[in-house]
Amino acid sequence: MATALKNLSAYDPSKVPSAKGMKVAIVVAEWNEEITFALRDGAVNTFLKHGAKEGDIVVDYVPGTFELTAGARAFAQTREYNAIIVLGCVIQGETRHFDFICHGVTQGITQLNTQYDIPFIFGVLTTDDKQQALDRAGGKHGNKGDEAAVTAIKMIDLFKRTI
């Protein structure tokens, strides 16, 4: 979580295992693409920085954040990936739509984590306004995509060692 005390892109690279040989799928919501595509770029670049090959990173798109669960499930059913990252952005509006979308996708991704033997990484920004989202998509608070990729690498490593 980005706060005044923590930058989403700040981490100790020496504490991140190699991503060499890891196959990941990244599902990106097209809604708020200025933000979600920046998250995507952060995640991909972080995987490459840690040794993944471009061919081992698959990126695909869904219309909006709510559809991330179905997109992630489709990739999981192929049994080809070590982890699946979902990247989206929901910005608070004047209606309760924000609450329903955030709750639905959170529950959906949580459920997938219990159904499959791979980690699903939640890289969804839920902000009060567009500026907060931009600040967390490569702005002053770093990039949630970087954080999601580091989390995926660490979780893949954990699963490889324990399952």
The DSSP result for 39-106, as a single string, is HHHHHHHHHHHTT--GGGEEEEEESSGGGHHHHHHHHHHTT--SEEEEEEEEE--SSTHHHHHHHHHH
Active-site pick, 50, 97, 103, 141: 97
Residue 130's alpha-carbon distances to 54, 88, 101, 136, 148, in angstroms, are 30, 13, 17, 10, 20
Closest C-alpha among 16, 43, 17 to residue 124: 43
Token pair 């991704």 in the structure block, residue: 109
Whether residue 141 lies in the annotated active site: no
What amino acid positions are annotated as catalytic residues?
97
